[in-house]
A and B are shown apart, each in its own frame.
Chain A
């Protein structure tokens, strides 16, 4: 089944088996919880943002399916070194690419493009977006739990 191979690409399986940045950051100054009530996926995200609004470090902990763990793992890799403004702009494009059928993006999503396989699996899109919603919530520092619902 080619769709299945598209969804569970090697990169995703690898990130699930050994996720990057899977730790609580002691000196984080942004923090949020994410929860997907449908799957029971739970995520805690930790970010360190410096005075120039640059994300200098990112980590996460939690439990979830391969898609949500790989998404958080890839995302935390991606965030490091980016400015908040960059990340927000990127999120909008990437979220549209994940969720809307017709979105045509000119942006190069780099390694994160592997996550676009979920488009063929509408029931799983929320698994891929959980980490990103949590990141948004951490940056806005709402202190509330981000939810996919």
Chain B
């Protein structure tokens, strides 16, 4: 293993302090949400204790301080994904809202009867349903990039999927159900050849690998704070400035206007145009603290370490003939989705939970993926940098218990 000191990293996360609980916790559900380091918890706490105020609204010093912190968070995000300007970053509730914003505002104004939207078979429901709703409203059509049996995108026919009717490509950076890392840079390049803008669902990528939106040249990039060691209820939509300028507002209300009268309402400049109402101030501050925490460790070190964890887990899995992996892509993040010899994923989940090992079981909000593999559900262990080989050993020890209970 690398020189990473996981033991001390674990100490940054109060919830992982096993001296505080009856039964040790092995948390392997990081793709659902990550735990929060004290650095994040303290930042949120400090805001509420010391300078809670509404933003952009008051002349009093508390509001100025809150506004500085909130806008400072936007700068942290800008730096984290290398956006050109903070004007390109909208704070939203999470990935889901970011995609809905694009579908509703961009899609609502640009996508018409007969137009086409390309998505992939491995998308999370949040990158399918907003497009379906839009397609239904507009009379547009959804085209689906298929996956192969390794859980990789089958791109053989990809260039031919574009036509002059194609209005957007919506694809995930890393699949939450399979762990597959998609070749989005190449896909974006191809889409741009056809003048088609691209939205990337980056929910699973942001905490695990360096994302540079300028280098990717994506048009939209969406992610959630809570999967990157930050609070729930906050996330980001990155969009190229020119697109945002041209898009109609998503929601109406305070903050997003310059002047309101019954004859004529003037919208605020971006990004405020897309942030109606009092935002999640504490969330933005906490999310920025999470990103700073990641920066302090370094995404390269994180990616290397997590890959070592995945390799170790795969090695251990190979010793279990009962275990069948779902998602065996060549390029894969630290997500292990599996079936276990006819035992339903929920039974696995319950037994593992009794052994103190928390994993996710179910369809992972990716029912088309489950359909592709002909299963109702999988068990999924997903690793973060605070996990260790010992945690993976605990996972496999708990799986032995499944064998025992079901007499396999």
Contact = CB atoms under 8 A, between A and B. Distances in A.
B355 A1 contact: yes
Interface in B325-377: 343-347, 350-351, 354-355, 362-363, 367, 370, 376-377
Interface string A108-124: 00000000000001011
Interface in A13-27: 13, 16-17
B376 A63 contact: yes
B354 A1 contact: yes
A66 B370 contact: no
B20 interface: no
A66 B347 contact: yes
Given A3-B354, A38-B362, A127 B405 contact: no
Contact of A8 (B362, B370, B405): B405
A39 interface: yes
B362 A123 contact: no
A13 B402 CA distance: 11
Given A38-B362, A39-B377, A42-B376, A4 B347 contact: no
Interface string B381-408: 0000000000000000000010001110
A67 interface: yes
Contacts of B345: 65
Nearest to B23: A1
Q: Which 3 A-B pairs have the closest CB atoms?
A: A40-B376, A65-B344, A65-B346
A75 to B, nearest CB: 18
A4 B344 contact: no
Given A40-B370, A66-B406, 15 more contacts: A1-B354, A4-B350, A8-B351, A16-B406, A17-B406, A38-B362, A40-B363, A40-B367, A40-B377, A64-B344, A67-B346, A67-B347, A121-B350, A123-B350, A124-B346
24 contacts: A1-B354, A1-B355, A4-B350, A4-B351, A4-B354, A8-B405, A8-B406, A13-B406, A13-B407, A17-B406, A40-B363, A40-B377, A63-B344, A63-B376, A64-B376, A65-B345, A65-B346, A66-B343, A66-B344, A66-B406, A67-B346, A121-B350, A123-B350, A127-B346
Interface string B21-39: 0000000000000000000
Name which of A13, A39, A121 has the most chain B CB atoms within 10 A of its CB.
A39
B378 to A, nearest CB: 10
A7 interface: yes
A77 interface: no
Interface of B: 343-347, 350-351, 354-355, 362-363, 367, 370, 376-377, 401, 405-407
B405 A65 contact: no
Contacts of A42: 376
A40 B363 CA distance: 7
A41 interface: yes
Interface residues of A, number: 22
A89 B354 CA distance: 34
A138 to B, nearest CB: 22
Nearest to A121: B350
Given A13-B405, A13-B406, A7 B355 contact: no
A40 B351 CA distance: 19
Contacts of A65: 344-347
A39 B346 contact: yes
A84 to B, nearest CB: 31
B252 to A, nearest CB: 33
Contacts of A39: 344, 346, 362, 376-377
Contacts of B376: 39-42, 63-64
Interface string A82-116: 00000000000000000000000000000000000
A70 to B, nearest CB: 10
A39 B349 CA distance: 11
Nearest to A64: B344
A130 B214 CA distance: 50
Contacts of A124: 346, 350
A67 B406 CA distance: 12
Given A39-B362, A39-B377, A40-B362, A7 B350 contact: yes
A65 B361 CA distance: 11
A42 B377 CA distance: 12
Nearest to A127: B346
A1 B407 CA distance: 16
Contacts of A40: 362-363, 367, 370, 376-377
A7 B401 CA distance: 14
Nearest to A1: B354
Name which of A13, A38, A40, A121 has the most chain B CB atoms within 10 A of its CB.
A40
